[in-house]
Copies of this chain bind each other. A is one copy, B any other.
Amino acid sequence: MNSSKNDLTRLAIHTITTKPWSLEEACENYASRGVPGISVWIEAIEGRKTNDVKRIIDRAGLEVPALVRGGFFCDPSPSERACKIERNKGLLASAAEIGAQMLVLVVGAVPGQPLATQRDWVREAIEKLLPTAEQFGVQLAIEPLHPMYAGDRSCVTTLGQARRICEQIDHALVGVALDVYHVWWDEDLDLEIERIGKRGELFAFHLCDWRCPTRDMLNDRALMGDGCIDLARIRAAVHTTGFEGWEEIEIFSTEHWANDQSVFLDQIIDRYQRFAIDND
Contacts and interface: CB of A to CB of B under 8 A. Distances in A.
Interface in A67-116: 111-112, 114-116
A151 B214 contact: yes
Report which residue of A147, A211, A213 has the largest number of chain B beta carbons within 10 angstroms of its beta carbon: A147
Q: In the assembly, how many copies of this chain are there?
A: 2
A263 interface: no
Interface residues of A, number: 30
Contact of A185 (B147, B216, B228): B147
B114 A230 contact: yes
B116 A152 contact: no
Contact of A228 (B116, B151, B157, B214): B151
A12 B147 CA distance: 28
A151 B150 CA distance: 19
A152 B213 contact: yes
Nearest to A211: B151
B212 A187 contact: no
12 contacts: A111-B212, A111-B228, A114-B233, A116-B187, A146-B147, A148-B214, A151-B211, A152-B212, A152-B228, A158-B187, A215-B217, A217-B217
